[in-house]
A and B are shown apart, each in its own frame.
Chain A
Amino acid sequence: MLNPQSGLYQFDPDVIILFIDKRTILGDLFYVPYKISELERRDWADEKFSELQSLLAKAKSCSRAQILVHNFDVPYYSPLGILENKQDFGFIESLRALNEKQKKACVGDGRLFLFDYDSFCSQIGKKNVTDDRMYYLADMRLDSRYMPDLCDAYLMYLKPFLSFIKKMYHPRS
Chain B
Amino acid sequence: MSEPVTDPMSFVGYLNMAEKIEKNVRTKTISLKKSIKIAYLSSFNPKGLRRSWRSNAFNEGYLRTFTSAGTINTLKNC
B53 to chain A, nearest CB (A): 10
Contact indicator A141/B44 (Cβ below 8 Å): yes
Q: A11-B63, A150-B14, A165-B34 are in contact. Are A16 and B41 (CB under 8 A)?
A: yes
Contact indicator A166/B34 (Cβ below 8 Å): yes
Which residues of A sit under 8 angstroms from B36, Cβ to Cβ?
Answer: 14-15, 158, 161-162, 165
Residue-by-residue, is B38-55 near A (CB-CB < 8 Å gives 1, otherwise 0)?
A: 111111110011110010
> In residues 17-32 of chain A, which contact B (Cβ within 8 Å)?
17-21, 23-25
Contact indicator B15/A148 (Cβ below 8 Å): yes
Contact indicator B41/A6 (Cβ below 8 Å): no
Which residues of A sit under 8 angstroms from B30, Cβ to Cβ?
Answer: 151, 155
Which residues of B sit under 8 angstroms from A39, Cβ to Cβ?
Answer: none
Count of A interface residues, CB-CB < 8 Å:
40
CA of A138 to CA of B34 in the docked complex: distance in angstroms? 33
Q: A24-B58, A145-B25 are in contact. Are A17 and B41 (CB under 8 A)?
A: yes
Partner of B18, one of A25, A144, A152: A144
CA of A162 to CA of B32 in the docked complex: distance in angstroms? 9
Contact indicator A144/B25 (Cβ below 8 Å): yes
Residue-by-residue, is B11-28 near A (CB-CB < 8 Å gives 1, otherwise 0)?
A: 110110110011001111
B13 to chain A, nearest CB (A): 10
Task: Output the nearest chain B residue to A55 by Cβ-Cβ distance.
Answer: B41
Give residues in B with beta carbon < 8 Å to A: 2, 11-12, 14-15, 17-18, 21-22, 25-28, 30, 32-34, 36-45, 48-51, 54, 57-58, 61, 63, 73, 75-78
10 A-B pairs with CB atoms under 8 Å apart are A7-B76, A11-B37, A11-B78, A12-B37, A14-B36, A17-B38, A19-B41, A21-B44, A147-B25, A148-B26
Q: A1-B41, A14-B37, A150-B12 are in contact. List 14 more A-B contacts (CB 8 A).
A: A6-B78, A7-B76, A7-B77, A13-B37, A14-B36, A24-B58, A138-B21, A140-B48, A141-B44, A148-B26, A148-B28, A150-B14, A151-B15, A162-B34
